[in-house]
Amino acid sequence: MIARTSPIVALAVSAVTPIALLIAAYALFVGHNQPGGGFAAGLLLGAVLVLRTVSGLQEPKYAAVLLAIGGVIVGVDALSPLLWGEPLLDQFVVSWDVPVLGTVKTGSALLFDLGVVAVVVGLVIALLEGFGASDLAERGRTPTDSEMKARR
């Protein structure tokens, strides 16, 4: 495991994680007005997860849960306007005044983007899980097909 043998990697990856999370959150929230958005935020989180997985800090888990959550969020966001007689995917914009930040404007598109984030992260985790990325972290290489077979 790289993280155990190399304190530099362990420390660097651990230190990068919160920063990357912050950037991902930023990308998500500014997406409507500046470069960013749900897809970019999801990929950023995914890249962090890749780093953490291959360095052995984390197991790739909960892919199905994230995919399900994302799918439900996107589906609900897409269909719910129909309940009010609005067209599919119609956006609902709200703005309110927050003490420090001033007027904050957001809408149901943010919710939609959150769903996209969950789906993208879920996809990355599914990839990591499917290709045996934790083995890569454990032994420096992914298992071969014959090893997979022998494990059964």
3-state helix, strand, coil in the chain (%, to 5): 70, 10, 25
Q: Name, in order, each residue with C-beta under 8 angstroms of 14's C-beta and a sequence gap of 6 or more.
A: 57
The binder of other proteins chosen from 1, 12, 21, 126 (CB under 8 A): 126
- Choice between 6 and 81, CB closer to other proteins: 81
Residue 9: other Cβ atoms inside 10 A: 18
The 3-class SS string of 97-118 reads: EECCCEEEEEEHHHHHHHHHHH
Please identify, among the stretches 8-16, 71-79, 96-104, the one whose residues bind other proteins according to the rule CB under 8 A: 71-79
Residue 133 has which token pair?
Answer: 């990325």
Residue 56 as a binder of other proteins (CB under 8 A): the answer is no
Residue 89 as a binder of other proteins (CB under 8 A): the answer is yes
Closest by alpha carbon to 67, among 21, 110, 125, 113?
A: 125
Please identify, among the stretches 9-17, 96-104, 132-140, the one whose residues bind other proteins according to the rule CB under 8 A: 132-140
Q: Which residues bind other proteins (CB under 8 A)?
A: 27, 30-40, 43-44, 46-47, 50, 54, 63-64, 67, 70-71, 74, 78, 88-89, 91, 93, 105, 107, 109, 112-113, 115-116, 119-120, 122-124, 126-133, 136, 141-145, 148, 151-152
